[in-house]
């Protein structure tokens, strides 16, 4: 079919459309927060043709046209790319189609992601457990101190101890070690690599104390994590009630909290996070850094004693988040690498950690992901961020080759769809937005290794997706974008009676295999993977929030703010 014939066909379809269907057809898919002046600016449209871009005074700034249709496998539609990159001056612009008229607007500016980035960090403050959220910091989203009672060990309920603090992990009030460590990893490495993105004070209780607020917020989680370590260096896997509680404010939940049995995954993740942060916080608080150093060494000793994996699964008569895993090799690798760099910083013998890391790398541990299941990417991040190559040329080369190979594979995937997304249809899983942003982290690392602009553009495409350049037309960050989602699966935001959600919370996003009753009911069978999202509070499999979805998005936007 020739291009003009395709246009005639589409215009015929438009003629018979009405109401919301027509509005959805004409609306461009673009970044609803905006585009930085110097970065690539792309939109996706359903209508072919030559568009005009007008400024706020109605003057035509430039024209831009579509090319051939892309039969997109992610949303199963014929779509067209629009390159808006000719617009390189700050301002608000209108996209105008010759047949349909004004279709949508977009913003171009300097540091356009600053507010959203800060809000995503501040959102972690709103997840704090064990303290009251006061009006001067929380605005309308106040609540009383919660979960203050002593907790019990699940396997020996005669053991009680104090474990207040930390962040509520997700839409529930549980707290989990592996997700905590991954969140810390995202945030601390983002801070180390892009410090210019973390200079603003965020109006949290610790603001103004001489420590960057992202580290202040991380410390609130780290202090809780330290309470989860046993004397022998083991670490409880999680801290939750027996079953998920009802939708109520956190201070109203009075059920007993249990520390569930130790897992080697939790121990290794804890060890890695503590070793990393012992180095970073030594500049700000040597005593706190020393506590983390000692905790990391104790957990490393536990790992040496327990060479076989210690898996975790929920015991009978328990129903909270499991965060189980099928291997602990990637967790042990991350721990070994972080312990190596900690030992180096202390002037101590680091060779045993290097040797251990090398042996694990030879087992083909996956070293290109940054999620709670696969944490090997953090080992690559540590090794490849070291310009001195202290772990040696061979380990450096192994990590570099893996990162660049995966980066190229994902670029190839991106050429198959209209959104330049390094995603296959099956990648739209539970928490797909973390897959999106974790791939942004990988590309940012590949860019730093090579200077290849395709990688930086790919990070931009994935942030664009998060902020609305997607088939749902939702911005997946509360409070940012003209069509930001509003009903996260979150107990306090359902129970607080406030219509607008806390800003800066990242939704789990489209899930091609929805698992909750509301998503199954509302999504027609066979719905395309990128469209499998419902903005309702009950949809935990598409619309929950988690700390590590936020932290991954914080990292990618920090790269764009570098």
Q: Which residues are catalytic?
A: 172, 489, 535, 544
DSSP 239-284: EE-SSPPPS--GGG--SPPEEPPB-HHHHHHHHHHHHHHHHHHTTT
> Could you tell me the CA-to-CA distances from 128 to 218, 452, 496 in Å, in that order?
11, 39, 16
Provide the phi-psi class of 539: left if phi over 0, else alpha when psi is between -120 and 50, else beta: beta
Report whether 185 contacts 276 (CB < 8 A): yes
Query: Cα separation of 464 and 448, whole Å?
Result: 20
Q: Which residues pair with 176 in a beta bridge?
A: 238
Report whether 27 contacts 42 (CB < 8 A): no
- Is the C-alpha dihedral spanning 381, 307, 365, 551 positive or negative? negative
Query: Cα separation of 11 and 14, whole Å?
Result: 5
Report whether 364 contacts 370 (CB < 8 A): no
In what side-by-side order are the strands of the sheet with 70-72? 42-45, 77-83, 70-72
198: DSSP letter: G
Q: Which two tokens stand for residue 202?
A: 């965020």
Report whether 288 contacts 215 (CB < 8 A): no
DSSP 125-175: HTTB-SS-B-HHHHTT--B-----S-EEESS-TT-EE----SB--BSSS-E
Report whether 97 contacts 47 (CB < 8 A): yes
388: DSSP letter: T
3-state secondary structure of 177: helix
Q: Parallel, antiparallel, or unpaired: how do β-strands 258-259 and 151-153 relate?
A: parallel
């Amino acid at each position: 079919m020739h291009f003009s014939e395709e246009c005639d066909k589409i215009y015929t379809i438009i003629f018979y459309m009405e109401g919301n269907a027509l509005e959805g057809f004409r609306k461009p898919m673009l970044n609803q927060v905006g585009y930085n002046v110097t970065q690539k600016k792309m939109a996706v449209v359903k209508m072919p043709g030559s568009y005009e871009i007008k400024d706020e005074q109605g003057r035509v700034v430039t024209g831009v046209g579509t090319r051939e249709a892309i039969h997109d496998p992610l949303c199963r539609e014929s779509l067209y790319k629009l390159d808006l990159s000719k617009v390189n001056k700050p301002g608000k612009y209108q996209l105008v189609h010759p047949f349909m008229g004004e279709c949508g607007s977009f913003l171009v500016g300097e540091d356009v992601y600053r507010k959203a980035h800060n809000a995503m960090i501040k959102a972690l403050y709103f997840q704090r457990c064990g303290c009251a959220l006061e009006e001067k910091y929380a605005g309308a989203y106040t609540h009383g101190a919660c979960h203050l009672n002593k907790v019990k060990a699940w396997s020996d309920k005669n053991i009680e101890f104090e474990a207040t603090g930390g962040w509520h992990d997700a839409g529930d009030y549980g707290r989990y070690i592996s997700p905590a460590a991954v969140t810390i990893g995202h945030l601390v490495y983002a801070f180390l690599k892009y410090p210019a993105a973390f200079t603003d004070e965020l109006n949290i209780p610790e603001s103004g104390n001489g420590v960057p607020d992202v580290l202040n917020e991380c410390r609130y989680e780290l202090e809780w994590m330290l309470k989860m370590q046993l004397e022998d260096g083991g670490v409880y896997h999680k801290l939750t009630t027996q079953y998920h509680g009802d939708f109520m404010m956190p201070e109203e939940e009075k059920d007993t909290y249990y520390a569930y049995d130790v897992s080697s995954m939790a121990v290794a993740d804890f060890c890695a996070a503590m070793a990393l942060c012992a180095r970073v916080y030594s500049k700000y608080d040597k005593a706190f850094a020393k506590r983390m150093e000692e905790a990391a060494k104790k957990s490393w000793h536990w790992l040496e004693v327990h060479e076989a994996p210690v898996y975790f699964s929920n015991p009978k008569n328990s129903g909270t988040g499991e965060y189980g895993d099928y291997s602990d090799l990637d967790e042990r690798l991350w721990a070994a690498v972080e312990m190596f760099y900690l030992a180096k910083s202390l002037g101590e013998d680091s060779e045993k950690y290097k040797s251990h890391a090398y042996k694990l790398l030879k087992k083909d541990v996956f070293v290109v992901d940054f999620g709670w299941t696969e944490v090997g990417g953090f080992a690559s991040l540590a090794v490849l961020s070291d310009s001195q190559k202290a772990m040696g040329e061979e380990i450096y080369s192994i990590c570099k080759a893996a990162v660049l190979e995966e980066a190229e594979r994902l670029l190839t995937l991106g050429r198959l769809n209209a959104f330049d997304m390094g995603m296959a249809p099956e990648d739209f899983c539970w928490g797909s937005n973390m897959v999106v942003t974790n791939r942004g982290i990988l590309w940012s690392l590949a860019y730093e290794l090579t200077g290849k602009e395709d990688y930086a553009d790919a990070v931009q495409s994935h942030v664009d997706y998060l902020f609305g350049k997607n088939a749902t037309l939702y911005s997946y960050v509360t409070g940012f974008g003209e069509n930001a989602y509003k009903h996260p699966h979150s107990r306090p935001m359902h129970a607080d009676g406030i219509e607008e959600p806390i800003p800066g919370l990242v939704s789990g996003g489209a899930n091609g295999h929805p698992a909750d009753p509301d998503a199954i009911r509302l999504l027609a069978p066979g719905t395309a993977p990128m469209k499998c999202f419902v903005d309702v509070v009950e949809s935990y499999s598409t619309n929950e929030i988690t700390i590590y979805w936020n932290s991954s998005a914080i990292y990618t936007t920090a790269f764009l703010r570098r």
